Amino acid sequence: MAERLVAIGRSGDREAFAALFEYYAPRLKAYLLRAARDPSIADEVMQETMVMVWRKAAQYDPAKASAATWIFTIARNLRIDAFRRGRRPEIDPSDPALVPEMDLPADQAIVRQEAESGLRKAMAALSETEQQLLQLAFYEDLSHSSIAARLGVPLGTVKSRIRMTFAKLRSSLEKSEDEGR
């Protein structure tokens, strides 16, 4: 199977991909069903996996891993991303937590304004790349793998950059909080 994966990467060999799909699709689905227990999610992640295999086949290195290991690792990562997306609750506009608060006492309003101002300053201090990562991850609600695909960088790079951006924000906010005392 490794030869077929290499052929797909080199020349976009559709016959090799069809054979790879025929062999791995049922195995991936069985693996994903055990993990997800939802046939629709298993189907979706299996399809995403095979699309990713087609797109990223040129990156496959038979010296580093077998074809099965490489493909199942992609499936595992996409399954984790799907699980993370699924854990996010649907927003209910009638939720009391989302209803604007009535007028706050003056001291609380000032504290809130200072916190919001500090956050805006901390966000403005981030690089354009860091702001873009936060935009994609939290405002556009993209998975890490989707961000990696959109930016054309490895998944690990996206994850580490997001962690570093949070650390930078945290440090900046703590610093501004200490200065305010």
**pLDDT score recorded for residue 161:** 93
Q: Where in the chain is the domain with CATH 1.10.10.10?
A: 105-180
Compute the distance between CA of residue 78 and CA of residue 98 in angstroms, rounded to an integer: 31
Q: List pLDDT tens digits, range 66-117.
A: 888 999 999 999 988 888 877 555 566 666 666 666 677 888 878 888 888 8
Q: Name the segment(s) of the chain with CATH classification 1.10.1740.10.
A: 2-87
CATH architecture of 105-180: Orthogonal Bundle (1.10)
- CA neighbours within 13 Å on the CB side: how many for 173? 13
What per-residue confidence (pLDDT) applies to 111?
80
Q: What is the DSSP string of 136-176?
A: IIIIS---HHHHHHHHTS-HHHHHHHHHHHHHHHHHHHHHH
Torsional sign, CA 31, 32, 34, 38:
negative
Q: CA separation (Å) from 28 to 108, 133, 177, 179?
A: 54, 30, 50, 54
User: 18-22, 137-141, 173-177: which has the minimum mean pLDDT?
Assistant: 173-177
Average pLDDT on 47-70 reads 89
pLDDT at 48 over 60: yes
Counting Cα atoms < 13 Å in the Cβ hemisphere of 73 gives 10
Distance of CA 89 to the CA centre of its chain: 16
Give the residue, 133 or 88, on which the prediction is more confident: 133
Q: Tokens 């496959």 — which residue?
A: 60
Mean of per-residue pLDDT scores for the chain: 83
- Does the pLDDT of residue 137 top 90, yes or no? no
Would you state the torsion angle of the CA atoms of residues 120, 125, 131, 133, taken in this order, to the nearest 10 degrees? -120
Residue 14 has pLDDT above 80, yes or no: yes
Instruction: Write down the pLDDT at residue 100.
Output: 66
At residue 22, the pLDDT reads: 92
Look up the pTM and report it: 0.47
Higher confidence at residue 96 or residue 40?
40
Decide which of 3.40.50.300, 3.30.420.40, 1.10.1740.10, 1.10.20.60 is the CATH code for 2-87. Answer: 1.10.1740.10
- pLDDT at 155 (0 to 100): 92
Element (H, E) at 10: helix 2-11
